[in-house]
Amino acid sequence: MQKTENKSFYEAKWEEEWGFAREQHGPIFFHRKRMIRKMIENYPLNGKILDIGCGDGSLLSLFRGGGNKLYGCDISEKAIELAKNKFGDIAIFTTGDITHFNSLPEGEFDVIICSELLEHIENDELAIKNLYYKLKKGGYLIVTTPHREKYWLLLDEIDGHVRRYEKAELEKKLTRNGFTVCESKTWGYPLLHLYYTLVLNKVKGRAKMKIVKKTKQKQIFSIILRSIFYLDDLFIPLSKGRNLFLLARKK
């Protein structure tokens, strides 16, 4: 599990794969966004919103309107370019690394989104401390990460992961760094797990997928998978999902 906290790795990912075959057109991002929306619906999340590791800014759309001020930060200049094109002047985007993003003020943000990022960071506790300092007192942190080390696949290495988290492990890391965990659940078992294991983990097939642009056939396949993956909601109580979702509050 090699360390991949470097700009060139993510620039290449956005140039070659994520930038034009972006996963928000597919079922995985659709359900991730849906689960975040469900998790936060009963909490007063508004004000200054920062998405750290924002990519093209897609999750910030959850907070558009309502007088919210939107900010995004990513290590990739290509990702920031895409985000600026998508949001125009209604959001502020900057390049930066979660382990040293000094360009952003401390104690300023009401909500920080940290989605699919901590698993890429070797020193994740330093990253969590930085998130703590950027939040206002009482501010909320939204975290999503891959769940369960035993679900590790070659695909994790390809995507630059250095770990998958156990639910209790990440809860403890957040708690000892000044957060109270408000919500914590997993999702993505058994159907999404099978999809990852039997389809996405086939490296040759995935290499082809990353150069396939949005086509009618791909859209239809995506819609079918979206519908199928709703069934994984029935298995949430088992806590076996591939994806971990947490909402925490700064003490």
Q: How far is CA 57 from CA 85, 106, 177, 227, in A?
A: 10, 21, 26, 25
Q: Where are the alpha helices (DSSP H) in 196-242?
A: 203-209, 216-229
pLDDT at residue 249 above 60? yes
Least confident among 23-32, 106-115, 177-186, 200-209 = 200-209
Quick one: fold of 7-250?
Rossmann fold (3.40.50)
- Give which of 118, 112, 115 is closest to 138, Cα–Cα: 112
Q: What are phi and psi of 221, to 5 degrees?
A: -60, -40
pLDDT at residue 29 above 70? yes
Instruction: Give 85: exposed, middle or buried? Use CB within 10 Å, 0-12, 13-18, 19+.
Output: exposed
Q: What digits encode the pLDDT tens for the residues 134-185?
A: 999 999 999 999 999 999 998 899 889 999 999 999 999 999 999 999 999 9
Widest distance between CA atoms in the chain:
48
Least confident among 16-20, 85-89, 246-250 = 16-20
Average pLDDT on 209-225 reads 71
Residue 194 has which token pair?
């099978």
Measure the CA–CA gap between 102 and 94, rounded to whole angstroms.
11
> How much is the pLDDT for 11?
74
> How much is the pLDDT for 221?
85
Taken in order 23, 25, 28, 34, is the CA torsion positive or negative? positive
CB 235 within 8 A of CB 189: yes
* Cα 29 → chain centroid: 9
139 contact partners, CB below 8 Å, separation of at least 6: 109, 110, 111, 112, 249, 250
Q: Where are the domains of the chain?
A: 7-250
Query: pLDDT category, 194, cuts 50, 70, 90?
Result: very high
CB 119 within 8 A of CB 166: no
Measure the CA–CA gap between 84 and 99, rounded to whole angstroms.
23
Element counts in the chain: helices (H) and strands (E): 9, 7
Average pLDDT on 190-200 reads 93
* 3-class DSSP state of 230: helix
Q: For 57, which DSSP code?
A: S
Mean pLDDT of the chain: 89
- For residue 171, which amino acid is it? E
Least confident among 23-37, 104-118, 212-226 = 212-226
Q: Work out the number of other CB atoms within 10 angstroms of the CB of residue 147.
A: 26
Q: What digits encode the pLDDT tens for the residues 231-246?
A: 999 999 999 999 999 9
pLDDT at residue 222 above 90? no
End-to-end, the C-alpha distance of the chain in Å comes to: 33
